[in-house]
């Protein structure tokens, strides 16, 4: 198993946010974390990435425990994180943003040349400051993850705040990345989009995993869908 969480408990101060969360992601798989706002989905990604370390539990990458590592070390180990707020450096150029991400030192199929071929809009803006539209920022955030040639991408709300047409463009980018065999752990508020992209899912509510399984299996339980995913 590429990534495994075992009995993870995460706190914000005295607030117990993740409660005995366990999940697995196999190589080449897209797994969606499903649930309403406040269910603990984004905190799960931040916990994996070392932004909010767990109080108890084990996180394993390729079998090795990583729950006491900092984000920079985890990036070098092969985890890329695309946060909800994107965290683009607006006073650097598009190319400089990518070169910073490439400092992880991991070599692979995603080179700067390929990124600019794949994301044509970024190629056109490569020497411009990264003061981009929301959709272009999201493209750059995803490109920055890819250029690190990670083993797994943690993708947090990639379509949040985007106009519908731009959101569909980002969705197609994620779908293409998936079809190339990349491993993704996805948080996306639009449950239908998330389930269309994922192979398996975990449903979270109040920081606990309430159900998990192949997407078709979860879809086949209307009571489950209504209880935890209906708005």
Q: Residue 180 belongs to a domain with what CATH number? A: 3.40.50.300
- pLDDT tens-digit map of 183-195: 999 999 999 999 9
Domain with 118, as residue range(s), is: 3-228
Mean pLDDT, rounded, of the chain: 95
Q: Degrees (nearest 5) of the Cα angle 102, 145, 149?
A: 60
| Confidence bin at 231 (pLDDT 50/70/90) | low
Those residues whose C-beta lies under 8 Å from the C-beta of residue 53, and which sit 6 or more positions away, are 10, 47, 67, 68
pLDDT at 67: 95
Rounded Cα–Cα distance for residues 130 and 151 (Å) = 26
What average pLDDT does this structure show over 114-121? 93
| H-helix or E-strand spanning residue 5 | strand 3-12
- Total number of domains in the chain: 1
pLDDT at 68: 87
| Confidence bin at 106 (pLDDT 50/70/90) | confident
Question: Could you tell me what percent of the chain has a pLDDT over 70?
Answer: 99
Those residues whose C-beta lies under 8 Å from the C-beta of residue 54, and which sit 6 or more positions away, are 8, 9, 10, 18, 47, 67
Q: Is the pTM of this model over 0.85?
A: yes
- Whether 210 has a pLDDT exceeding 60, the answer reads yes
- pLDDT tens-digit map of 121-169: 999 999 999 999 999 999 999 999 999 999 999 999 999 989 999 999 9
């Amino acid at each position: 198993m590429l990534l495994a969480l075992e009995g993870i408990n995460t706190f914000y101060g005295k607030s117990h946010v993740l409660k005995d969360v366990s999940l697995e992601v196999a190589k080449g798989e897209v797994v969606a974390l499903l649930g309403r706002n406040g269910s603990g989905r984004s905190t799960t990604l931040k916990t994996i990435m070392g932004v909010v370390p767990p109080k108890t539990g084990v996180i394993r990458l390729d079998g090795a425990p990583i729950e006491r590592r900092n984000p920079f070390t985890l990036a070098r180990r092969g985890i890329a994180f695309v946060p909800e707020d994107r965290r683009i450096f607006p006073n650097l150029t598009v190319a400089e943003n990518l070169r910073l991400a490439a400092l992880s030192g991991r070599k692979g199929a995603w080179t700067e040349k390929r990124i600019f071929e794949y994301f044509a809009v970024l190629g056109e803006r490569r020497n411009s400051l990264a003061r981009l539209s929301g959709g272009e920022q999201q493209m750059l955030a995803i490109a920055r993850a890819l250029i690190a040639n990670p083993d797994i991408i943690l993708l947090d709300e990639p379509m949040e705040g985007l106009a519908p047409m731009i959101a569909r463009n980002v969705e197609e980018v994620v779908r293409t990345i998936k079809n190339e065999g990349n491993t993704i752990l996805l948080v996306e508020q639009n449950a239908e989009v998330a389930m269309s992209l994922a192979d398996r899912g975990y449903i979270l509510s109040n920081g606990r995993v309430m159900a998990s399984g192949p997407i078709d299996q979860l879809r086949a339980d209307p009571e489950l869908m209504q209880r935890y995913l209906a708005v």
